[in-house]
């Protein structure tokens, strides 16, 4: 049985992001998004060792009713939640306040991505250990087709913000720009999988190709379809070297920041 936590998970599903184009509400897009949610996001949440205090799936107020019903069927623990206006910091603040969830830690999760089973537990432990601030599980994977790529990504779209005594939430900041925030490394085990597909062209494969035998078995146990036999067929050495070389150049640029962050963690434990 999964234990509880204080964390509120926030997932944008079909919202107007305020770019003038409105929310994606055509049937083909919604159907495709529901398929991604069913294939990846919902099984990851169902497999968590610690349940979130609440899981809000954010929708535009004009989202068809059949989408809401489908979401409830795919993820009974989720709360489909309508926004009365375009998605914004204040709109999310209003939703949390009206739901009695203001002041709780909030964690970001995209509707087409996967949390590995102990992610919420790891975040909860980090909040207890470190207190307020932005909590990150820096290690995870990218899934492109049946290929897994290991990635170190501190400012990732799975971060959790704890700010007790305020109404701040994780969407008050961009996960890629956290200047001024106290950043905590929540854990060192992989905690997430970013799914690369045709509908998220802003993302690209940036990790190191790995066989990922353990991760594949975990995904299979979670009911997420992946070719677990593929690991035995792929000539991994050359692909790992090639992707590792590209990734190393990116990591060299980030090494000073990562070293400072690790030093802060060690200093905090000694205090």
Please list, in sequence order, all residues whose beta carbon lies within 8 angstroms of the beta carbon of residue 4, skipping any fewer than 6 positions away. 50, 51, 53
At 2 the pLDDT is 65
pLDDT at 214 over 70: yes
Give the whole-angstrom CA distance, residue 126 versus residue 105.
11
pLDDT in tens, 149-195: 999 998 899 999 999 888 999 999 875 566 677 899 999 999 999 99
Which range has highest mean pLDDT (61-65, 175-179, 202-206, 247-251)? 61-65
Residue 184: φ, ψ to 5°: -115, 135
At 233 the pLDDT is 44
pLDDT in tens, 76-88: 999 999 998 989 9
Task: Judge whether 193 and 113 are in contact, CB under 8 Å.
Answer: yes
| Secondary structure (3-state) at 115 | strand
Burial annotation 135-170 (CB, 10 A radius, 16+ → b, else e) = bbbbbbbbbbeebbbbbbbbbbbbbbbbbeeeebbb
Q: Counting runs of H as helices and runs of E as strands, what totals does the chain give?
A: 8, 12
H/E run at residue 209: strand 208-210
pLDDT at 21 over 80: no
Task: Judge whether 48 and 117 are in contact, CB under 8 Å.
Answer: yes
Domain 8-270 architecture:
Alpha-Beta Complex (3.90)
CB atoms within 10 A of CB 172: 16
Give the length of the chain: 271
* 106-108, strands of its sheet edge to edge: 78-83, 54-60, 8-14, 106-108, 160-162, 133-136, 183-185
Lowest mean pLDDT among 110-119, 210-219, 253-262: 253-262
Task: Judge whether 111 and 33 are in contact, CB under 8 Å.
Answer: yes
Q: Nearest CA to 128 among 164, 99, 86, 84?
A: 164
At 217 the pLDDT is 84
At 175 the pLDDT is 55
Lowest mean pLDDT among 7-21, 136-150, 153-167: 7-21
Q: List the domain boundaries for the chain.
A: 8-270
Q: What does the mean pLDDT of the chain come to?
A: 83
Q: Nearest CA to 170 among 208, 135, 212, 130?
A: 135
pLDDT at 148 over 60: yes
Half-sphere exposure in the Cβ direction for 214 (13 Å, CA): 8
């Amino acid at each position: 049985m999964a234990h509880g936590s204080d964390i509120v998970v926030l997932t944008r599903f079909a919202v107007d992001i305020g770019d003038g184009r409105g929310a994606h509400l055509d049937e083909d897009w919604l159907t495709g998004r529901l398929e991604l949610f069913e294939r990846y996001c919902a099984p990851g949440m169902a497999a968590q060792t610690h349940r979130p205090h609440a899981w809000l799936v954010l929708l535009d107020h004009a989202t068809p009713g059949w989408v809401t019903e489908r979401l409830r069927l795919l993820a009974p623990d989720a709360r489909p939640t309508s926004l009365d206006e375009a998605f914004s910091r204040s709109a999310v603040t209003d939703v949390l306040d009206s739901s009695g969830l203001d002041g709780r830690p909030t964690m970001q999760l995209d509707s087409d991505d996967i949390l590995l089973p102990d992610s919420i537990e790891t975040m909860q432990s980090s909040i207890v250990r470190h207190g307020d601030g932005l909590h990150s599980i820096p290690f995870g994977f990218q899934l492109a087709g049946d290929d897994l790529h290991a990635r170190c990504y501190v400012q990732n779209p799975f971060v959790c913000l704890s700010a007790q005594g305020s109404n701040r939430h994780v969407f008050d900041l961009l996960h890629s720009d956290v200047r001024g925030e106290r950043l905590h490394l929540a854990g060192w085990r992989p905690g997430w999988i970013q799914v690369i597909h045709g509908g998220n062209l802003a993302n690209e494969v940036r990790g190191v190709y790995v066989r990922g035998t353990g991760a594949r078995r975990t995904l299979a146990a979670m009911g997420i379809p992946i070719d677990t036999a593929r690991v035995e067929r792929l000539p991994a050495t050359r692909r790992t070297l090639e992707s590792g070389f590209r990734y190393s150049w990116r990591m060299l640029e980030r090494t000073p920041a990562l070293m400072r962050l690790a030093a802060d963690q060690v200093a905090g434990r000694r205090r």
